[in-house]
Amino acid sequence: MNPQLHRVPFSCRGSWFSFFRKNPGLSGGHPSAPLSLRVIAGVLWERAEILDLDLERDGRSLVWCEELATERLVLREVDGPGLVTIAFQNPDTVRLRAEGVTLRLDSQEGDIAPTGPASWRLKGGSHGWLVLRAAEGVLDKGRFAQRHALWLRGEATPAELIVHRTTAGSSAPEPCGGLTECVDARRAEIEAWRARAIEHSVEFSDLAAREITNLWNLTVAPLGCFRRESTLVSKGTLVGLWSWDHCWHSLGTAGLDADLAWNNFLAPFDHQDTSGALPDVFCANQVYWGNVKPPVHGWMLGILARRHAWFGDEHRARIYEPIARLTRFWLRERDNDGDGLPNYLRATDSGWDNATVFDAGASLATPDLATWLILQQEWLAETAGRLGRPAEAAAWTEGARLLLERLLGRLWTGGRFVARHNATHEEVCSDSLLLRIPLLLGARLPEAARRWCLDGLFDTARYRASSGLRSEPAHSPKFDADGYWRGSVWPVTNFIFFEALRVNGLHAEADSLRRDFLVHLARVGNHENYHGLDGRGLRDAGIAWTSTCALALLRADGRD
């Protein structure tokens, strides 16, 4: 076999189906895993594999390979005539056609119940059912290796199966056109989606096309906790939306589809609680509370407004109060000792789940959190002024000024930025790149603080890797090149520091960081993060914020 579907799942815009070779562990895919039809409309880490696929002839499994295009998937017999073609009739309906071969589908969980002649139903995860019907040829039920199975028998004459996802178990729809028409319809969708993109440089045109297509693939229709069309983090492993990823999803789709970009930004706010907090993450069938994510939202709204003409005062008016409530949550509910410096209760609240700054324990006041809240209050002040609320504008301006004063008075030692324990105010030092995020404040910082934030960023023995900036410098005793936030290179941090360098007038350095990341991404492909030494892709592939960071950086070529 020549498997490809352990990297990027086969799906389409709007669909909660994906075909994928899921890693038996939690992260990413694996080339030796079975190819499964999955329903990802469940809860995080739920077993989404519903049916495993295999090709047979005369009852024996065949050797076959995958031929993957965005609009169709072909499973082709090696050294033989058999093939199975798979395409989406619509986001909820998949067509599978077997020619010269039998397609076996093994149920991973539960019985396959008959619903009529050549028609069957089985549970499709925690959020619905699958209905299967033979549109052409023979579909048999039996057992294989102690599991229920279906055989779509296309050895003598072609056979075609319709698989339909439904929340209530309704009947499978009739075929709409032939399989070729389905493939052509999806191809036309993709071409129209790409045609709407802002023009990118010729050098990175293939990269742009790949990332645009990935975002088309990762977008889902409203369902359950998703109350609007949104872009998932992944249709492989991370089948939810985290409350800071969505900001990059919004920015990355803003040059493709303004409505989708705005929906991406608003999606977590559909679940904002009465305290003003956003959930950590939500999936189709569950909202996860307990953790939160850093308040990057005001900063990102400023970038959206600066780069995209469609973002206007009606958008500011819609989001002003939710952002104000979110900000008050942090200022009120996450300032446990009342010293005016908000704190993270857990490392995961920062988004940098295992960064070395948190080795000393959580409940820390950190420079990055203060930075995000300064920028967010400044955005609120500007927006309140535009909306004719001068008293509120003045209050937010004063809040930002006071928090900057506390950041510099308590977390800047005169020689470096530090974190502090919430209760004891004990100083916590670390080499984590997280502590250098105040660079986003630019001229608001003393020159010595700016110099410290920049120190080592361009040193290949410290933070600078060929693919971008390491989350922990290579000379640190705690450095782990494959250590998540302890040395790996992350797309999102490259984007943050690209913006920070430009805020500080370091345009050549910013463009060098931008270009190195884009060249690396074009060569290595999409991944959640990258090895801090050799640059290889790590963990889940086909991640949305890698695509959205790429498109945002491709857009940031001096025109915004």
What's this model's pTM, rounded to 2 decimal places? Answer: 0.95
pLDDT beyond 60 at 129 = yes
The residue behind tokens 């073609």 is 85
pLDDT in tens, 215-228: 999 999 999 999 99
CA distance readout (Å), 199 to 157, 194, 204, 247, 435:
47, 10, 10, 22, 35
188-218: buried (b, 16+ CB within 10 Å) or exposed (e) per residue?
Answer: ebbeebeeebeebeeebeebbebbbbbbbbb
Cβ(297)–Cβ(256) below 8 Å: no
* Cα–Cα dist 410/404, whole Å: 10
Answer yes or no: is pLDDT of 452 > 60: yes
Which helix (H) or strand (E) element contains residue 332? helix 313-333
Which residue intervals of 334-472 are DSSP H helices? Answer: 367-386, 390-406, 447-454
For the chain, give the percent of residues with pLDDT over 90: 82
Q: Which residues pair with 131 in a beta bridge?
A: 121, 164
Question: Each residue of 297-328: pLDDT tens digit?
Answer: 999 999 999 999 999 999 999 999 999 999 99
pLDDT of 177 higher than 90: no
Judged against a pLDDT cut of 70, whether residue 560 lies above it is answered with no
Q: If pLDDT is split at 50, 70 and 90, which confidence band does 169 have? A: low
Nearest residue to 339 via CA among 406, 428, 272:
406
- At residue 1, does pLDDT exceed 60? no
pLDDT digits (tens, 9 = 90+) for 462-474: 999 999 999 999 9
Task: Please say whether the beta carbons of 195 and 255 come within 8 A.
Answer: no
Least confident of 143-157, 216-230, 231-245, 522-536: 143-157
pLDDT in tens, 65-76: 999 999 999 999
pLDDT exceeds 80 at position 27: no
Average pLDDT rounded to a whole number, residues 531-543: 92
Most confident of 197-211, 309-323, 530-544: 309-323
The pLDDT score that the predictor gives to residue 173 is 73
pLDDT for position 150: 93
Per residue in 258-304, pLDDT (tens digit) is 999 999 999 999 999 999 999 999 999 999 998 999 999 999 999 99
Give me the long-range contacts of 502-508 (CB less than 8 A, separation at least 24).
502/556, 503/439, 503/440, 503/441, 503/442, 504/439, 504/442, 504/443, 504/450, 504/454, 506/454
Average pLDDT score over the chain: 93
Q: What is the pLDDT of residue 4?
A: 81
Q: Which has the closest alpha carbon to 482: 533, 445, 558?
A: 533
Quick one: which of 240, 232, 241, 239 has its CA closest to 214?
A: 232
Q: Which of 131, 151, 126 is nearest to 60 (CA)?
A: 151
Going through 201-354 in order, the beta strands assigned E by DSSP cover: 219-220, 230-231, 241-242, 281-283, 286-288
Terminus-to-terminus CA distance in the chain, angstroms? 46
